[in-house]
Amino acid sequence: MILPSTPSPRPFHHPEPGSALHCEKVSLEALARHYGTPLYVYSADQIVERLGMFQQAFYGREHLVCYSVKVNSALAILKLLADRGAGFDIVSGGELERVLAAAPAAACRIVFSGVGKTEAEIDLALRAGILEINVESEAELELLAARAAKLKKKARFALRVNPDVFADTHPYISTGLREHKFGIDIRQALRIYKSVAGNRWLEAHGVSVHIGSQIRSTEPFGAAMERLNKLAGQLRREGIVLKAIDAGGGLGIDYHGGSFDAAAKVREYAEAIENGLSGFEGQLLLEPGRFLAAQAGALVARVLYVKRNGRKTFVITDAAMNDLIRPALYQAHHEIVPVRPRAGKSRTVDVVGPVCESGDFFARDRKLGPVKPGDLVALLDAGAYGMAQSSNYNTRLRPAEVLVEGGKARLIRRRETIADLLAPELAPADH
Catalytic site residues?
A: 356
Where in 24-86 does DSSP place strands (E)? Answer: 26-27, 39-43, 63-68
Identify the three-state secondary structure at position 136. coil
Distance, in Å, from the CA atom of 320 to the CA atom of 356, rounded to the nearest integer, reads: 10
Distance, in Å, from the CA atom of 135 to the CA atom of 155, rounded to the nearest integer, reads: 11
Give how far the C-alpha of residue 79 lies from the chain's centroid of Cα atoms, to the nearest Å: 15
Q: What percentage of the chain's residues is helix, strand, coil (to nearest 5)?
A: 35, 25, 40
Give the largest Cα separation in the chain, rounded.
74
Identify the three-state secondary structure at position 100. helix
* H-helix or E-strand spanning residue 251: none
Distance, in Å, from the CA atom of 257 to the CA atom of 148, rounded to the nearest integer, reads: 49
User: How many residues are present in the chain?
Assistant: 431
Nearest one of 382, 387, 398, 307 to 351, comparing CA atoms: 307
Nearest one of 227, 386, 209 to 287, comparing CA atoms: 209
Residue 124 backbone phi and psi in degrees, to 5? -60, -45
Residue 12 backbone phi and psi in degrees, to 5? -100, 120
Q: In sequence order, what are the beta bridge partners of 160?
A: 208
Nearest one of 98, 107, 21 to 412, comparing CA atoms: 98
Task: Give CA angle at 26 (24, 29), nearest 5°.
Answer: 130
Distance, in Å, from the CA atom of 302 to the CA atom of 323, rounded to the nearest integer, reads: 13
Q: Is the peptide bond before 338 cis (omega within 30 degrees of 0)?
A: no
One-letter-per-residue 3-state SS of 138-165: HHHHHHHHHHHHHHCCCEEEEEEEECCC
Residue 386 backbone phi and psi in degrees, to 5? -100, -85
93, 116, 135, 240, 244 from 207: Cα distances, Å: 21, 18, 9, 12, 7
